[in-house]
Amino acid sequence: MHKLLARQLRRCFGSPEAVPVELRPFVAAVEEAYRQSDNDRALLEHSMETVSEEMVDRFRRAGEDLLASQRTEEQLSRALSVLAATLESTADGILVVAESGRMVRMNQKFIDLFGIPEHIQASRDNQQALEFVVGHLQDPEQFLLKVKELYDSPEADSFDVLHFRDGRIVERYSLPQRVAGKTVGRVWSFRDVTERRQLEGLLRQSQKMESVGQLAGGVAHDFNNLLTVINGRVEFLVGAPNLVREQDEDLREIQKAAERAGGLTRQLLAFSRKQLLQPRVLDLNRMLDEVEPMLRRLIGEDIQIVLVRGETLGPVMADPGQVQQVLLNLALNARDAMPSGGLLTIRTANESVSRVPKTGASEVVAGSYVLLEVTDTGCGMDEATKSRIFEPFFTTKGLGKGTGLGLSTVYGIVRQSGAAMSVRSAPERGTGFRILFPLTDGVEPEQLRQDDLGIDDLGSETILLVEDEDSVRDLAQRILQSRGYKVLAAQHGGDALQIASIADQRIDLVVTDVVMPGMNGRELVETLIASTPGIRVLYMSGYTDDDIVRRGLLTSNVSFLQKPFTGKSLGRRVRSVLDAD
């Protein structure tokens, strides 16, 4: 027994043999501490620098007390507690190794991280521990090479990232520890960063999708202006009495091409979450009944379709047309993944989420939802493909066999609808999409018909038309004047306010673009409403200003017309807004 310890025991109990039985484990622990070599004690002390400056100071004070000749039993106990608490206080796994390669100490976080068995903990055999550690790694050779480099260069610092076979990601730091200028060992620090890396990956993906969405929305906006002019000008020409048959056929083909191009821009707007939704209380089972015949025609006979409808399904708030678009796009994608036939399953169900994954990878919060699930038995996807499926124009199909907008449209509609979606897939194991719509209160109304083909679109009211694109403004003015309206045309918000300020100028309807330089459409309307309460408004745009939808400005007096529009659609919408109660 160390002479200092023996002297303290004699002072407290008369002799070392008189120590009470319940205190003997403590005495054994103190005796083990005294067996440490001077270098090992110093190494332990210096290793605290990688953990906490405050703990280092506490450890040093405790170490000085430990070696003092006036040590009491309480002081000895406190010193050893601080020594253990210092290493255990960090969230990192810590391994302290002497220059000889002998493990001096490992904390509980290190033991838990690698699952170090008790026999290795007790033996402190560095080689055994090293062999056990590398067994967890995807690339053990690289790790062993790094360890060898550090033993060959004992003064070097080191950092690398370890990938575990179970998917965990761990950052490893290694610092030499010096006493009086001499390297006496090394401290290894291991930090589990799996969750942080997952969150960083999600953030990068989100930023990428947001950037692409902004680009897609901008392109769609400009393209819709061009299509509006094409549609409108062709509409004036189609059916003209002086056209020869070939010219009339050419114009109708231009119309068809413009309609298809308009469909593409609508998909881009869906992806960028800039399209106008008209949500209402919806029963997904009833929506499934309505779309089932179309699904069976599109999918073909070689693919079996199974519909599993949840009982007493709760209502959701969604745009029925957009939800049908989601379902059709997912079904068509599944069809393409099963060229030789297979099984397509569409399922609805009530679902309650009480626990949210702690990984931060979920967009779902605790609450009640209605599930729409589409699964197939097709070829499936690897991780690289799955990470890109929602990017617009990304496709694995052959040239000319797809636009790459189907799933990006789904992504945009789901996100803009306030729902959450997850995907599971693996090569040769099929694919499944799960969409969770938040449960809402209310009852589904009777089927609403948006068909206004019977509306007479002629009138004599005064319309203030505001559009910064010259070609679109000229076209809209011509369309409205041909239907009998008096049109006051303005290039931007300032012009519009000046026209509206003219005394005795009665304006029955404001037709304005949403996105304009300077004062946008929403700001213009707010200014006009302040001076003329109750004025009727029709917004038009290649994509919606988010504020219009978010602030609830779409009312019976405020409506919206999506570009590209035709002369007929503009005339009908103007008439319906003017006639609305």
Is the pLDDT score of 282 beyond 50? yes
pLDDT of residue 50: 43
Q: Give me the mean pLDDT over the 116-141 stretch.
A: 78
Question: Residue 48 — very low, low, confident or very high, per pLDDT cuts 50/70/90?
Answer: very low
Q: pTM higher than 0.85 for the full model?
A: no
pLDDT of residue 73: 40
Tracing tokens 């002479």 back to the chain, one arrives at 3
pLDDT of residue 268: 59
Lowest mean pLDDT among 68-82, 307-321, 450-464: 68-82
- 253-262 long-range contacts (CB < 8 A, ≥24 apart) are 254/230, 255/231, 258/227, 258/230, 258/231, 258/234, 258/564, 259/231, 261/223, 261/227, 262/224, 262/227, 262/231, 262/564
Q: Give me the mean pLDDT over the 512-535 stretch.
A: 87
Nearest to 188 by CA among 57, 352, 81, 51: 51
Lowest mean pLDDT among 255-259, 309-313, 390-394: 390-394
Please report, rounded to a whole number, the percentage of residues in the chain having pLDDT higher than 70. 67
C-alpha 528/C-alpha 257 separation (Å) is 38
**Helix, strand or coil, per DSSP, at residue 308:** strand
User: What are the C-alpha distances in Å from 377 to residues 134, 327, 338, 440, 500?
Assistant: 38, 17, 7, 32, 62
Question: Residue 298 — very low, low, confident or very high, per pLDDT cuts 50/70/90?
Answer: confident
**Helix, strand or coil, per DSSP, at residue 505:** coil
**Which residues are CB-neighbours of 150 under 8 A, at least 6 positions away?**
156, 158, 174, 186
Specify the fold of 92-192: Beta-Lactamase (3.30.450)
pLDDT of residue 210: 62
Ordered DSSP codes for 400-467: TS--S-HHHHHHHHHHHTT-EEEEEE-TTS-EEEEEEEEB--S-PPSPPP---TT-------EEEEE-
pLDDT of residue 111: 85
Question: Residue 435 — very low, low, confident or very high, per pLDDT cuts 50/70/90?
Answer: very high
Q: Give me the mean pLDDT over the 455-473 stretch.
A: 88
pLDDT of residue 24: 62
Q: Give me the mean pLDDT over the 492-507 stretch.
A: 87
Candidates 3.40.50.2300, 3.40.720.10, 3.40.50.11540, 3.30.365.10; correct CATH number of 462-579? 3.40.50.2300
C-alpha 379/C-alpha 425 separation (Å) is 9
Most confident of 252-256, 350-354, 435-439, 565-569: 435-439
**Which residues are CB-neighbours of 356 under 8 A, at least 6 positions away?**
362, 364, 365, 366
Q: Give me the mean pLDDT over the 191-217 stretch.
A: 70
Q: Give me the mean pLDDT over the 333-358 stretch.
A: 86
pLDDT of residue 378: 92
User: What are the C-alpha distances in Å from 483 to residues 9, 217, 375, 456, 487?
Assistant: 110, 32, 50, 10, 11
**Helix, strand or coil, per DSSP, at residue 390:** coil
pLDDT of residue 41: 53
C-alpha 476/C-alpha 468 separation (Å) is 12
444/486: higher pLDDT: 486
Tokens of residue 85, six digits: 């608490």
Lowest mean pLDDT among 135-144, 325-334, 346-355, 368-377: 135-144
Domains of the chain, by residue range, sit at 1-35+52-89, 92-192, 197-271, 280-438, 462-579
Query: Phi-psi category of 504—alpha, beta or left, where left has phi over 0 and alpha has psi -120 to 50?
Result: left
pLDDT of residue 557: 55
Nearest to 41 by CA among 105, 100, 95, 88: 105
Tokens of residue 320, six digits: 């029925």
Nearest to 578 by CA among 511, 528, 498: 511
C-alpha 489/C-alpha 182 separation (Å) is 85
**Helix, strand or coil, per DSSP, at residue 83:** helix
Task: Kindly report, residue by residue over 172-189, the tens digit of the pLDDT.
Answer: 888 887 766 677 777 888
Residue 151 CB neighbours (<10 A) = 12
* Intrachain domains 197-271 and 462-579 with the same fold: no
Is the pLDDT score of 214 beyond 70? no
Please report, rounded to a whole number, the percentage of residues in the chain having pLDDT higher than 90. 19
Lowest mean pLDDT among 126-135, 143-152, 318-327, 360-369: 360-369
User: What are the C-alpha distances in Å from 132 to residues 43, 144, 167, 378?
Assistant: 24, 12, 17, 41
Tokens of residue 43, six digits: 């190494």
Query: Cα 171 to the chain's mean position, in Å?
Result: 25
Nearest to 483 by CA among 513, 464, 461: 461
C-alpha 574/C-alpha 474 separation (Å) is 17
C-alpha 540/C-alpha 517 separation (Å) is 15
pLDDT of residue 54: 45
Tokens of residue 352, six digits: 């309650």
Question: Residue 408 — very low, low, confident or very high, per pLDDT cuts 50/70/90?
Answer: confident
420/77: higher pLDDT: 420
Q: Phi and psi of 171, rounded to 5°?
A: -90, 130
Is the pLDDT score of 462 beyond 50? yes
Ordered DSSP codes for 467-488: -SSHHHHHHHHHHHHHTT-EEE
Is the pLDDT score of 521 beyond 70? yes
pLDDT of residue 489: 94
Residue 148 CB neighbours (<10 A) = 10
Residue type present at position 439: L
Lowest mean pLDDT among 89-93, 208-212, 290-294, 366-370: 208-212
pLDDT of residue 290: 84
Is the pLDDT score of 63 beyond 50? no
Query: Cα 257 to the chain's mean position, in Å?
Result: 35
Candidates 3.40.50.720, 1.10.540.10, 3.30.565.10, 1.10.10.10; correct CATH number of 280-438? 3.30.565.10
Is the pLDDT score of 47 beyond 60? no
pLDDT of residue 128: 74
Lowest mean pLDDT among 6-15, 96-105, 184-193, 558-567: 6-15
Instruction: Identify the burial level of 153 via C-beta atoms within 10 angstroms of its C-beta, where 0-12 means exposed, 13-18 middle and 19 or more buried.
Output: exposed
Instruction: Identify the burial level of 65 via C-beta atoms within 10 angstroms of its C-beta, where 0-12 means exposed, 13-18 middle and 19 or more buried.
Output: middle
189/455: higher pLDDT: 189
Residue 99 and residue 154 in contact, taking contact as beta carbons nearer than 8 Å: yes
Is the pLDDT score of 167 beyond 70? yes
pLDDT of residue 7: 64
Specify the fold of 197-271: Helix Hairpins (1.10.287)
Task: Kindly report, residue by residue over 230-274, the tens digit of the pLDDT.
Answer: 888 888 888 677 888 888 888 888 888 887 777 666 655 555 545
Query: Cα 263 to the chain's mean position, in Å?
Result: 26
Q: Give me the mean pLDDT over the 2-12 stretch.
A: 61
Mean pLDDT of the chain: 76
pLDDT of residue 145: 82
Nearest to 348 by CA among 297, 379, 312, 380: 312
**Helix, strand or coil, per DSSP, at residue 580:** coil
